[in-house]
Structure 1
């Protein structure tokens, strides 16, 4: 068990994040022991044809038999909008001493041929093969959970929000206790460093830093996982057209990058006012969002639209 001791100032400084690289590293757990992750079996089955082609000479050193990973692989993010490339840059910059020490702490040994560069290359290949095709779906669920937790925090307070994170997580009287995460119990004070809460699909109960004394971070299971893989493939263009209408389906299909109303009108050979009407409906239903650049208003698909169409959101 890990117990975080939080002051009133710490409780006011709780932050939520989404980490693409953490989800990638933690997903190795599900590939290593699928039986522990029944809610993610849909993803495990879907990626099986690609798994054998990955660089397991490197990847096997990133997760041990007890599901531990070196902390340098999961740098503490600072935002729900963290980008994978930025996190990979942080990993690439880890110093050699930390790299070797944490690999040994997790695995009990260090392979001579292992380098940070090989780790970053293996993770990049892993992302493209088994994470990128499904990341929009995953990120939408993680972001929705953060919105829900924020609502609970605002309406009921930090204590109620913390107590609702999962059955392995309890809070009372300034003590946040995390069970089922470590063989040896330890107590750590947050002490003004900020507690970061990170929803993760690959807990399955909770996730904490491997090293004692690391920056305070708690991964917890998000809501809605049971239905995450209920739709194995995105709808076809014909199905999407039946759902939201052919013109609006065409517009979503054209938004592979932000575009103006006039640009879309020229592409579709219709008037800008007709496109504007469709865009306003797509905006009201949460499928597109505007962004102003100078005097122009560009429209781009939201994460909800990416989830619906199976495309990658910007």
Structure 2
């Protein structure tokens, strides 16, 4: 068990984040022992044909027999909008002494031939092969859970929100207790460092840092996982066009990168006002969002749109 001690200032500084690289590293647990992750068997089955393409000479050292991983592989995220490339850059620049010490602590030995370069390259290949085709669906669920927890926090308070994170997590009188995570119990004070709450699909009960004294982080199981893989494939273009209309489906197709109304009008050979009407409807229904850069307003698809179209927003 891990017990985090929070004072009133710590409770006010609790924050949420999503980590693409943590989901990737933790997903190795499900491949290693699928029986512990029944809610993710849909993903495990889907990626089975691709397992032989991966660099297991490196990947097998990223999680040990008890499902522990070096903390440098899961840098504490700072935002629900954390990008994979930023996290891989952090891993690539890990101090060599930290790299060696944490690998040795997790495995009891230092693997030969491993470096930050080989680890990052193996993870990049793993992401494109195993995670990218499914990440929009995963991230949408994780983001939706954060929105729900935020609602609970504002309506009922931090204590109620913490007590609802999962069966292995309980909070009372300044003590946040996390069960089923460590053979040796420990107690750590937050001491103003901030507690980051991170929904993760590959807990399954909770996730904590491997090293005692690491920056406070708690991974918890998000709501709605039972239905995550109920739809095997995104709808076809024809299905999407019937749902939202052909012009609006075409606009979503064109938003492979942020674009202006004028740019889209040129592509579609219609007037900017016609495109603007479609964009406003797409915005009201949560499928696009505006981004102002100087005097220009660019539009990009939301995670909901990415889920509908099967687009990977992480690239």
**TM-score scaled by structure 2?**
0.97
Q: Deviations over 1:190-218 (max 9, x none)?
A: 11111110000000000000111111100
Match of 2:125 in 1: 125
SS in 2 for 1:117: helix
Decide which moves more: 286-295 or 59-68.
286-295
User: Where do 1:96-245 residues align within 5 Å?
Assistant: 96-245=96-245
SS in 1 for 2:243: helix
Size of the aligned set, in residue pairs, is 314
SS in 1 for 2:3: strand
Match of 1:283 in 2: 283
Q: CA deviation at 1:112?
A: 2.0
Q: CA deviation at 1:167?
A: 0.5
In 2, Cα distance between the equivalents of 1:221 and 1:239? 32
Is 1:259 aligned with 2:259? yes
The CA RMSD measured in Å over matched residues stands at 1.1
Q: Deviations over 1:93-150 (max 9, x none)?
A: 1122211111111111112212221111111111111111111111111111111111
Match of 1:71 in 2: 71
SS in 2 for 1:67: coil
In 2, Cα distance between the equivalents of 1:113 and 1:295? 51
Q: CA deviation at 1:296?
A: 2.2
Runs of 4+ in 1 over 3 A off after TM superposition: none
SS in 1 for 2:113: coil
In 1, Cα distance between the equivalents of 2:33 and 2:59? 14
SS in 1 for 2:53: coil
Give the unaligned 5+ runs of structure 1.
Answer: none
In 2, Cα distance between the equivalents of 1:257 and 1:93? 29
Q: CA deviation at 1:234?
A: 0.9
Q: CA deviation at 1:282?
A: 0.6
In 1, Cα distance between the equivalents of 2:186 and 2:77? 23
User: Where do 1:27-38 residues align within 5 Å?
Assistant: 27-38=27-38
